[in-house]
Each structure stands twice: as structure tokens, then as C-alpha cells.
Structure 1
């Protein structure tokens, strides 16, 4: 028993936590092509900036404004074979008068040992105005 306790004391457990990546973008039009371009750009930015490991993704929630109904963002994500087995969900955003039109948002839950401050949350195109505080922080940190 003492040997087992000593071995356990010598090795530090990996501190993996569940974190979330938040991001948003806008489509130019309510077409499959425009939505595909916007979703692909957003997911590429998230994957690249966060060095996202597909095996660590728990689930992904996409939301779209009611003026986008040409396709499902999850269907676009599944076009990438690495996203094939990731649990994906599409929802319609709450309608709020005066809110940003043609907006696609994403929330990705994943396991990581990175601290929260190192997670990059991209807000692209017209969605930059949704979280100007995060865009400013990323610019200061050199993560344009």
C-alpha cells in the first residue's frame, strides 16, 4: 500500500477542465453559399487560434437569427470529416428588436488544460460589435 501511495504522490494529475469558446459572425445573405462561407471562416478561426483538438470537443451549439434559414450551421460543420462525430445542435436565436441581422453564433464546450484567459473568442464581420471588449483584448494581446 505504501508503494502505491508514493507513486500517486509523485505523479501530478493532469488538470483538464471543461471550457467554452464563444464566437459569432454574420452571413452576407440567406443562402447556403453565404452561410457556408461565414461558418467555415468562423470555425477555422476558432480551430486555428485555439489549437482545438477535435477529440476534446464535448459539444457545439449554433444559433442563427430568424432571417437565416437556408441551411443548418451544423450541416456545414459536418462537411469537415473531423467534425463528423462531434455532437452538434442548431437553435434559433431569440428575436430582439434592433439586434444584429443574419447573425450566426457558436458555443463550443471542450476539455483543455488551458486557463480561461488563453481562450480566443472570435467575433467576425459585423458581429465584431457584439463584443468589442473581446476584440480589443485580442488586438492588445497580438491575436488580431
Structure 2
């Protein structure tokens, strides 16, 4: 049996946003998100770790090319998100709150779409200040259908 291993890569980026759900009233948004529900926006510096898992390729001795993973992470995540206001500049967040959980889902879906072997994607770990962390493994997600964002499984 071929050995199975994980390979991960990290990238840091800064975004701005404010937490607000279009499905909640102003009062409920303030209660749920507290001081983060302020249209004057605030910023975060996140570190994302993308973890792949698969059979070690005997020809290269790794799950996939680390340089390919680094390059993809940079182009798929950092170049698209760094310095952006999620709520106004990234279409995905026009209909879902720009929470850490939804940001991890967005990164997962972006990486899954751009990977040559999407089945290797294992986890996305998003950390804010080393105090807060979200780990997403592809269970459920969002799809755009007829102008609506719907929660679904990425296997649907």
C-alpha cells in the first residue's frame, strides 16, 4: 500500500470588512456581531493554511509539488483577497456575512476550483491573531443559483 501524507502551505493576507447579515434586523445584527457590526469597517490580518492529503507520488516523493501549492495559494487567495474589503469587492460576500467561517468556505471553494487534483484538498485552516481559528474540510458550502446563495454539500 502506498504511503498517505499531508502537505500544507501558509499565506498571510489583510482584509477589511464589517459583520452584517442581510437576513437579520439591525438590532439582531448588533446583538450577534457586537462592535464588528459597524459599516465603518475594520481590518484583520489572517493566516491561511491549506492542507492537502494524498498518496505520496513516488516520482517526486511528495503528495504534490510544494512550489505548485505555494503558487496556487498565492494566486487563488492572497492576490484575490489581500487589501480588499470583502463586503464591497468580493461578490461571494454580497449575500453572505463575511465571517471567518464563510471566508474559509470561500477559500476552500476557490482552491478546489483551481487545483489540478481537487481531491487532494483536505482542510483550510484560517487564523486571526493566533487567537481565533476556523478549520473547514469541505462539509457543506455555498452555491450561487438564480442570484441566490444557497448552503449545500460540495458533493451535491
Shared fold by TM > 0.5?
A: no
Between Structure 1 and Structure 2, which shows a larger proportion of strand residues?
Answer: 2
- What TM-score do you get using the length of structure 1 for normalisation? 0.31
- What TM-score do you get using the length of structure 2 for normalisation? 0.29
